[in-house]
């Protein structure tokens, strides 16, 4: 279990990681927005723009966003999509 300070640090790392991924999504008319992270390391994001309705959204989420974040931040266990 992470302390509050550790969790805040990891969330900042996640947001930084998403900002590095964002230009690739924006190039295809999409975007990603951080929603929250659980104490268990599950990151929730919202896919926006074309990414929200793209048939490849799950692949983008799991093979793109999740794999990049898990590789860079060991505390991230998975990335899940929040649907509005």
| Residue 1 pLDDT > 80 | no
- Secondary structure letter of residue 64 according to DSSP: I
**Per-residue confidence band for 69, with pLDDT thresholds at 50, 70 and 90:** very high
Kindly report, residue by residue over 31-48, the tens digit of the pLDDT: 999 999 999 999 999 999
Q: In sequence order, which residues have a C-beta less than 8 Å from that of residue 78 and are 6 or more positions away? A: 41, 42, 43, 66, 70
Give the E-state strand segments of 1-84 in sequence order.
30-37, 42-49, 78-81
CATH of domain 4-81: 3.30.300.130
Q: Print burial letters for 10-24: b (CB count within 10 Å at least 16), e (below 16).
A: bbeebeebbeebeee
Q: How far apart are CA 46 and CA 71, in angstroms?
A: 20
**Per-residue confidence band for 58, with pLDDT thresholds at 50, 70 and 90:** confident
Q: How far apart are CA 18 and CA 16, in angstroms?
A: 5
């Amino acid at each position: 279990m992470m302390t509050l300070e550790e969790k805040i640090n990891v969330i900042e790392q996640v947001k930084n990681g998403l900002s590095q991924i964002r230009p690739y999504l924006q190039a295809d008319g999409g975007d990603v927005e951080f929603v929250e992270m659980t104490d268990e390391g599950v990151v929730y994001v919202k896919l926006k723009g074309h990414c929200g309705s793209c048939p490849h959204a799950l692949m983008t989420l799991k093979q793109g966003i999740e794999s990049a974040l898990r590789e860079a931040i060991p505390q991230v266990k998975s990335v899940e999509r929040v649907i509005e």
